[in-house]
Structure 1
Amino acid sequence: MTFPISKVTWHPSYRIIPSRFPPIDLFEGVNSNPDDWDLLNELEGETSARLREEAGAIHLVRDDDRRYGPGWTPVMAAFCHFPKTGSRFSDGTFGAYYCALTEATAIAETVYHAERFMGESNEPPMMLQQRVYLSDLSGQLIDLREQDTAQPLLTPDSWAAGQTLGRKAWEEQADGIVYQSVRDPEGECAAVLRPPVLSATRQGRHLGYDWDGQRIRHVYELTVLC
Structure 2
Amino acid sequence: MVINTADIPVNHVVWDRAVRIIRSVFPPIDLFEDIAEPEDWPLLISAEQKTNPRLMETIGNIDLIPAERRVGGLGASYLMAPFTHTSVDRPSRFSDGRLGVLYIASDFETAVHETAHHYAGFMSATNEAPGWVSQFRELLMGVDARLHDIRGDISDFDAALDPNDYTNSQNLAAALRAGDSEGITYPSVRGAGDCVGLFYPDLAHHPVQGRHLAYHWDGTRVDLIRESATGSVFRVVD
TM-score (norm 1): 0.91
Amino acid across the alignment from 2:197? A
Gap runs ≥5 in structure 2: 232-238
Structure 2 residue aligned with 1:117: 122
Residue of structure 2 aligned with 1:159, choices 154, 159, 166 = 166
1:42 Cα offset (Å): 7.5
Q: CA deviation digits over 1:59-89, x for unaligned, max 9?
A: 0100100111111111101111134231000
Query: Residue type matched to 1:179 in 2?
Result: Y
Bigger shift: residues 37-46 or 5-14: 37-46
| Partner-residue secondary structure (3-state), 2:54 | helix
Q: Note the C-alpha offset of 1:57.
A: 1.6
Q: Which amino acid aligns with 1:87?
A: S
Counterpart residue type for residue 187 of structure 1: G
User: Which deviates further from its counterpart, 93-102 or 122-131?
Assistant: 122-131
Q: CA offsets, 1:152-186, max 9 Å, x none?
A: 001011001111121233343322100010112x2
Root-mean-square deviation (CA, aligned residues, Å) is 1.9
State yes or no: 1:10 paired with 2:12: no
User: Which amino acid in the other structure matches residue 104 of structure 2?
Assistant: C
- Amino acid of the residue matched to residue 66 of structure 1? R
Matched residue SS, 1:142: strand
Figure out how many residues of one structure are paired with residues of the other and give that number. Answer: 223
Note the C-alpha offset of 1:212: 2.2
Identity rate, percent = 36
Which of residues 190, 194, 203 is equivalent to 1:188?
Answer: 194
Q: Deviations over 1:12-32 (max 9, x none)?
A: 111011110246332101251
Please, which runs of 5 or more residues in structure 1 have no aligned partner? none
Matches within 5 A, 1:165-180: 165-180=172-187
Q: Secondary structure at the match of 1:88?
A: coil
SS in structure 2 of the partner of residue 68 of structure 1? coil
Work out whether residues 98 and 190 of structure 1, in 8 Å CA contact, stay in contact via their aligned partners in 2.
yes
Correspondence for 1:208? 214
2:141 matches 1:105: no
Aligned residue for 1:141, secondary structure, equals strand
Is the Cα–Cα contact under 8 Å of residues 22 and 77 in structure 1 kept in the other structure? no
Q: What amino acid maps onto 1:167 in structure 2? A: A
Alignment of 1:132 with 2:149, yes or no, is no
Change (3 A) 1:5 1:87: same
Structure 2 Cα separation of the partners of residues 38 and 159 of structure 1: 38
The CA distance in 2 between the partners of 1:70 and 1:44, in whole Å, is: 23
- Which among 139, 142, 147 is matched to residue 141 of structure 1? 147
CA contact (8 A) 2:38 2:71 kept: no
